[in-house]
Structure 1
Amino acid sequence: MSHTPTSTGPGGNALAPNQSAAQDKKPSLAGVRVRQRKGQAKASAKFEPESFRDSFLLHLALLPSPLTTDALVAKLVQAGTTLEYLKYNEQFFELLFVGGLLQPGGAYLDDKRSPVYIVKTDDTSVTGDEGRGEDSWKDGVKGMVEVLKRVIQRYKYLQKPLEEDFLPNLLGYLGKWDLTARAKLAEATALLILELGASPKCLQSLAKDHVVKDGVALSFLSPFFKTYLSKQNVEHLGSTLRRSGLRDLLLVFPIQTRDRAHLEEYFKKEGLQPIIDWYAKLASLEAREQTINEVGRLINDEETNEQIIEFIKNQQVEKPAPEADLCEWIWQGLMKSIDWSARPDQLDQAVILHLTARAPILEAFCNGAKAQIGLINAIQVYCYTDTRIIKAFAQIVKVLYNADVISDQAIIYWHQKGAKPQGKQHFLKATEAMVKFLEEQESDEEE
C-alpha cells in the first residue's frame, strides 16, 4: 500500500498537501492599484508638443498690459512649475524665439503664435494675438534676452539644450527668415553668448552650404558682429570665434566670392573695419607659422634653394605678406632647420656655414631698405634671446652683406639709429669695426 508523503508543521504536526501549497503562494491584495513611479510615468508619457504649446500660450494669455520684463519672467517661471520645460525644451525655445512651432526644415507648423517673441520684437511694441491689440514692449530683443537669461538661471537645465541643440538647428534655418528677423536672431545670439555664457559653437551652422548660399550667413554675421563689438573689443570677439570652431571667416562667403578682397570689401561696406584689421592680423599669423615651418621642413628635406624660393613665391601669390615680415619669417625658418646638437664651441661655425649655404633664399626676397633693416633687427632680437649664438652676430651680418642680402647703407642706418633696444649696446659695439669700414668705403667711393 502506498502512502502519500506529508509535511510536518510546527510542533511536529503533519500538514496536508493542499495546506503546504497554500503557504507557498504569495499574498495578493484584490482591487488594489499599484502606482507607477513618477519617473516611469514621465518616461512612458506621450510626446505632445502641440498640447505643450497650447498650455504655454494659456499662461501667456494672462500677461498684464503693459507688458514688462519682470512680469514675463514671473509668468514663465510660474509656468515652469506645471509645464515640462525639459521634455519640451525645443518647443519652449521655438515659442520664445520665433513665436510658433517649427517643422523639420524650419517652416511653421501652423498659425498659432506667442504674444511676444524675439523675431517679432522691436523698440516700440509687439503685436499680440488676434483680438488682443498691441502689448507695449519697449525692451526689444535685449528685453527678451534678459527674460531668457533669468528664466534659464532659474531652470538651469535649459542652457545645455539651448546651446547644443536649439541654436545650431535654428541657425541652420536662417534662409527661412527675412533680413530683419535674421538681424534680431543675430543680436539675440550675440547677447546670449556674452551675457549668458552660451557656447558659440552654434556659429558652425553658418558654414553649411545652404546657409552660405545667397549671402544668408553674411546677413546674420554682420549684425552679430555689430552687437558683439558694442559690448566687447575685437580681440574678445576673435577668442569667441576661435572657440566656436568656425575655422575661417571666408567659409561663410559664397564660393565665388571666397577670397580676402571680397571679405575686406564686404565688411568695409558694413562699417566693420575692426573685423578687417583683425582678419588681416590673423591671416598674417597663419602665414608666418606656415612659412617658418615649411622653410624649416624643406631645408631638412634637403630641397634646393631654388625649390624653396619657388615655394615662397607661390605662397606669396595666395597669401601676400609685407616684404619686411616675409624676410623675418624666412630667417626664423632658417634657424629652425639648424642642428643645435653641435658642441657649444662649434655652434657659431655651424650657423655661419648654414647661412652661407642658404643666404640666396633671403637674397631673393630682401630687396627694400625697410626689409633689410627689419632683417638685421630680427637677427639682433634672435641672438639676444638665444645667447648660444650672441657672439656670432657680427659674423652673421657680414655673411649676409657678402651675399648681397643686406646693403652697406642698411647696416650703417641700423647702427646709427635703427637698432632695437634688446642688447643694443652689445650689438653696436660688436659691429663697430664693420660699420667703420663700410663708412670709409662709402666715403672713398664718393670721392
Structure 2
Amino acid sequence: MNKHQKPVLTGQRFKTRKRDEKEKFEPTVFRDTLVQGLNEAGDDLEAVAKFLDSTGSRLDYRRYADTLFDILVAGSMLAPGGTRIDDGDKTKMTNHCVFSANEDHETIRNYAQVFNKLIRRYKYLEKAFEDEMKKLLLFLKAFSEAEQTKLAMLSGILLGNGTLPATILTSLFTDSLVKEGIAASFAVKLFKAWMAEKDANSVTSSLRKANLDKRLLELFPANRQSVDHFAKYFTDAGLKELSDFLRVQQSLGTRKELQKELQERLSQECPIKEVVLYVKEEMKRNDLPETAVIGLLWTCIMNAVEWNKKEELVAEQALKHLKQYAPLLAVFSSQGQSELILLQKVQEYCYDNIHFMKAFQKIVVLFYKADVLSEEAILKWYKEAHVAKGKSVFLDQMKKFVEWLQNAEEESESEGEEN
C-alpha cells in the first residue's frame, strides 16, 4: 500500500506555543530568583543552604543546573569561555559566592559545605556539578588569579570529602592552560587544599583510581615534562609527597617497560653483548640503579624457558640455562647489595616453584663459580640476609658449601699471615 504524502498548508503562520515562548526567558527568571535569595541570605551560609534547600521545590534545578552552579561559584551566569554575561549590571549578580569570599581555607571549606548539603538534598545534581567543575577548570584563563586560587581550594576540599571525583582534573591538561603555566599553578593550590583534608596516601590512591597517576607530567609543556622538573616544582611548593609519588610511579612504569623489552630480546635469543648494551643504556636514560635491574633480569631469564615438570630433570635444565646467562647476570651484580637481591630472588623463586626446591644450592654454586656471586655475599645471605620463604630448607642445603667457604677463607688468611 502506497503512502501518500500529506498535504502541506501554505501561507499559514503558526504562533509559538506559550510554553516554548516562556522557556526562552526562564533562565533569567531562575537567575533573578537565585540572586535575590542569595543577597537576602548574605554571608550567613546556613541561611544560604536553607534557601537553596527550600527553593529547589520551586525552581527547576535539574534544567538550569549550570546557571545554579555558575552563580554559586562566580556570582553570575557565565558565557562560553568564562566571561560574565551580566558583567556591569549589579542587579543580575551577587557578591555572596565563592569568588567573592575570603581567600582562606576555612571560609572556602564552609562554602564547600553548602555544595555538599545541596547535592545530598538533590542527588540528581551530582553529575551536573561534576560537569560544571570540569567546565570551570576549562575557563580558568577568564578568571583572576584570586578567583583561580579560590576555585582550586574549593576543588581540593570537595575532592577530599568525596563530593567530586578526581577525573575533573583532566580539564587541566588542555593545551592553552598547560602552555601558560596555569595548569601547574592551579594544580599546586588544589593539591594543597586536598592534602589539608586527606593524607597523601588517600590523594595518590584517588589519582590511581582515576588513571591520572601516570599523567601528572602533562601539567607541564612538552619541553618540561621530566620527573626532575616536576619534583622540583612540587617540592618547592611544599608538596614533596607528590614528588616522591611520581618518582615511584615513573620508576615502576620504566621497570615494566624494561622487563617487557628484555623478555622480548631473551625470547629472540639476542646476543648477550647486545642485551648488556641495551640494559646499560636504559639504566643511564632512566636513572635506574643496578639494584633495580638485577631482579628484573632474573625474572626475565627464568620466564624465557618452558620448565620440565619433573623435579629430577628440572635442576639439570635450570643449570644449563643459567650457565648460558651467567655472564649477563655477572655484569649487573657488581655491588654487594645487588648480589644479595639476586640471592633473595633465587630463594623466593625456588620456594614458589616447588620443582626447584632441591636446585637452590646448585644454582648458588654455579653463580659462585661464574663470578656472579662473591663468597662475602653468600656468607652474608646465610648469616642474616636471607628471606623467610623456605629458610630452614635452603640454609640446610647451603650448610656444607658455607662451611667450605669459611674454611677456604680461614686457610687463605693463615697463608697470608705465614707469608
Question: What is the root-mean-square deviation in Å for CA atoms of aligned residues?
Answer: 2.4
Residue 98 of structure 2 aligns to which amino acid in structure 1? I
Matches of 2:21 and 2:273, distance apart in 1? 70
Q: Is 1:52–2:52 an aligned residue pair?
A: no
Q: Is 1:171–2:151 an aligned residue pair?
A: no
- Per-residue CA distance 1:160-180 (angstroms, 9 max, x = gap): 1111x2121211122233333
Which one of 42, 52, 57 corresponds to residue 76 of structure 1? 52
Which one of 97, 113, 120 corresponds to residue 93 of structure 2? 113
Match of 1:413 in 2: 380
- SS in structure 2 of the partner of residue 86 of structure 1: coil
- Per-residue CA distance 1:329-374 (angstroms, 9 max, x = gap): 2112222223135444322222222211122222222111111112
Matches of 1:197 and 1:361, distance apart in 2? 53
Matches of 1:102 and 1:230, distance apart in 2? 30
Match of 2:71 in 1: 95
Which one of 123, 129, 153 corresponds to residue 162 of structure 1? 129
Q: Give 1:92 deviation, angstroms.
A: 1.0
Matches of 1:43 and 1:375, distance apart in 2? 78
The 1:308–1:229 alpha-carbon spacing in structure 2 relative to 1, beyond 3 Å, is same
Match of 1:266 in 2: 233
Matches of 1:113 and 1:332, distance apart in 2? 65
Unpaired runs of 5+ residues, structure 2, are 1-16
Q: Give 1:149 deviation, angstroms.
A: 0.7
Q: Are 1:192 and 1:198, in contact at CA under 8 Å, matched by a contact in 2?
A: yes
Q: Are 1:291 and 1:330, in contact at CA under 8 Å, matched by a contact in 2?
A: no
Q: Give 1:401 deviation, angstroms.
A: 1.8
Q: Are 2:308 and 2:317, in contact at CA under 8 Å, matched by a contact in 1?
A: no
Residue 171 of structure 2 aligns to which amino acid in structure 1? S
Residue 52 of structure 1 aligns to which amino acid in structure 2? F
Matches of 1:254 and 1:374, distance apart in 2? 38
Q: Is 1:236–2:170 an aligned residue pair?
A: no
The 1:85–1:427 alpha-carbon spacing in structure 2 relative to 1, beyond 3 Å, is same
Unpaired runs of 5+ residues, structure 1, are 1-35, 125-137
- Per-residue CA distance 1:259-315 (angstroms, 9 max, x = gap): 011111112111112112222222232233223333222212222222322332232
- Per-residue CA distance 1:204-257 (angstroms, 9 max, x = gap): 111121111232111111122222222222222112112333232111122222
Q: Is 1:361–2:339 an aligned residue pair?
A: no
Residue 389 of structure 1 aligns to which amino acid in structure 2? F
Matches of 1:100 and 1:181, distance apart in 2? 13
Matches of 1:178 and 1:46, distance apart in 2? 31
Q: Are 2:227 and 2:246, in contact at CA under 8 Å, matched by a contact in 1?
A: no
Q: Are 2:310 and 2:355, in contact at CA under 8 Å, matched by a contact in 1?
A: no
Which one of 39, 63, 68 corresponds to residue 61 of structure 1? 39
Residue 391 of structure 1 aligns to which amino acid in structure 2? K
Q: Is 1:283–2:247 an aligned residue pair?
A: no
Match of 2:120 in 1: 153
Q: Is 1:189–2:169 an aligned residue pair?
A: no
- Per-residue CA distance 1:187-211 (angstroms, 9 max, x = gap): 2112222324322211111112111
Q: Give 1:83 deviation, angstroms.
A: 1.7
Matches of 1:187 and 1:273, distance apart in 2? 19
The 1:176–1:365 alpha-carbon spacing in structure 2 relative to 1, beyond 3 Å, is farther
Q: Is 1:399–2:366 an aligned residue pair?
A: yes
Matches of 1:268 and 1:290, distance apart in 2? 27
Match of 2:215 in 1: 248
Q: Is 1:382–2:362 an aligned residue pair?
A: no
Which one of 212, 229, 233 corresponds to residue 178 of structure 2? 212
Residue 175 of structure 1 aligns to which amino acid in structure 2? K
Residue 353 of structure 1 aligns to which amino acid in structure 2? K
- SS in structure 2 of the partner of residue 181 of structure 1: helix
**Structure (1 or 2) with the greater helix fraction:** 2
Query: Rg: which structure is higher?
Result: 1
Q: Are 1:203 and 1:244, in contact at CA under 8 Å, matched by a contact in 2?
A: no
Q: Are 2:103 and 2:146, in contact at CA under 8 Å, matched by a contact in 1?
A: no
Q: Are 1:394 and 1:431, in contact at CA under 8 Å, matched by a contact in 2?
A: yes
Q: Are 1:149 and 1:196, in contact at CA under 8 Å, matched by a contact in 2?
A: no
Matches of 1:389 and 1:42, distance apart in 2? 79
- SS in structure 1 of the partner of residue 133 of structure 2: helix
The 1:419–1:139 alpha-carbon spacing in structure 2 relative to 1, beyond 3 Å, is closer
Q: Give 1:321 deviation, angstroms.
A: 2.3
Q: What TM-score does the superposition give when structure 1 sets the normalisation length?
A: 0.82
Aligned residues: 393
